[in-house]
Structure 1
Amino acid sequence: MLKESRSLDRGISLMEALARRDSMSLAELHKTTGLPKSTIRRLMATLVARSIARRSLADGRYRLNVTLPSISPEPIPRGLSLLADVALPDTLALTRAVGWPSDLHILDGTAMQIIDSTRVFSPFQFNREQIDRRVNIFGAASGMACLSLRNEAQVAALHEATKGDRTWGLARFGMDLDDYLPILDEARRRGFGTRLPSYHGERPLDGSLAAIAVTIGPRGLGLGALTLVWPRAFSSTELFASEHLPALRAAAEAINRALDTSRRIDRHWLEEPREEVR
């Protein structure tokens, strides 16, 4: 009779616990599994090193980068762990250089998903609870940046998939595609995305914020976006971008270089367009 591996069994127990939740702290994993915290730290360090799990910079909580089909409630966006692991050193350096917090977004079907943030490291600390949230792709600066790389037919397909949806579609802003396409043209001209003036985020506190965003992903695919966030009352978008856009672009370019050279890259994810409407 084969002897069971105790460490493997414990590691799977941690994965199963994480698969049932969006994220868990060390204390929550300890309470759920009954494993000693020292054991959890050791096993989670291995899972993180193998990109099976990640520990978010913003809140220190653990999250899975893989799905367990019989447990996980929904699929994890392809490439999420790659962007989070590769991009965050440069986003952290960006916030340390300019002061303002940066959120990291990934394109997830008909919305953008925030996968990590440097808000906890900014001296301007506000509304920290952002991780794992989905935001409207048409209203968010990150979505505008990604959509500006798509052609009219691709944007139209996304509009059709969300038509009439007052949460995820243009109907939320009382707009149609003909209203939005000139806004995308302007984003292409200036080279970065901004929030729609009528977009006030997905939570009440978001309404006081503004953002600019540039895309992440080699060869102009726009697989995700890097943002800088500030209070609307502090500065206009034009003035803020004139001061901080070069640093934001430099951080995105550094991330793209890191993505292109990382040995842990899923080459198909980087080289083939993702299915954007599902």
Structure 2
Amino acid sequence: MSVAALLAGAAGALATLGLAELAATRAPRARRRGALTRLVTNVGAAVGVRASAGLARRIAAAGLERGLSEVVALQGGLAVVAGVLALPLATAAPGRLGPAVLVLAPVAGYLTPEAHLRRQARRRRAQIEVELPDVLDLLRVAIAAGLAPRRALHEVGRRHPGLLAKELTRLTARMSLGEPVDRALAHFETRCPSHTIPPLVAALRRAERHGTPLGPTLHAQATEARSQRAARRAEQAAKAAPKIQLVVALLLVPAVLLLVAAAMAPAIGA
């Protein structure tokens, strides 16, 4: 058996063992991460940091179930922990770099949850914009079949598997519990951070207040959303072409040349 075959077998065995160990330790790591988050949150609650402007809206846009006070406490706890961890680096840093580290480390800890919220909101926005045309078509069909708008929202939210459908289910649940329609729609719009949602919310408000037919409006919005989705995909494909060429030039071409050189090495050595 050749050395290459032995190395390949050893690599496969190590990869298998690594995957098994990862699967075995995944749940304990998640529990430890949750306990650490609770500890940091308790530290931040003791510090008493105030919430930044618009934080509640960003939490809703990220789709988190955490309360405002919990996120603020987490920010304060991370700022304290980052400041404590930065003390050894600040004392060892030369010149004016030490005070800068002491200032920047708590700021970075405080802003870390904000970065996570914004990243989560961008992910939700992209998913909602992908799902919106199909959801609008389903709503139009349900209303054309004779369902009332609230019943149509509930049925589409219950049957569609996407993120936007879950938010529709949340919307109808809030309205069925007696929350004012305007407040429930405003909450729905906040939790769906996409520029395509305000026209839908406006159409639902008109239907609730004045009984305006939703079918033509939903059809026009679905057509517009589908064209915007196609334009975004074309733009993404145009941006992907240079990246693919860069990967081919930097990785695939040298790899092929190395394989050719390895195949020609015995002949050259002979």
Q: Give yes or no for TM over 0.5.
A: no
Give the TM interval when normalised to the shorter protein: under 0.3
Higher relative contact order (CA 8 A, sep 6+): 1
Q: Give TM-score scaled by structure 1 length.
A: 0.25
Q: Between Structure 1 and Structure 2, which shows a larger proportion of helix residues?
A: 2
Q: Give TM-score scaled by structure 2 length.
A: 0.26
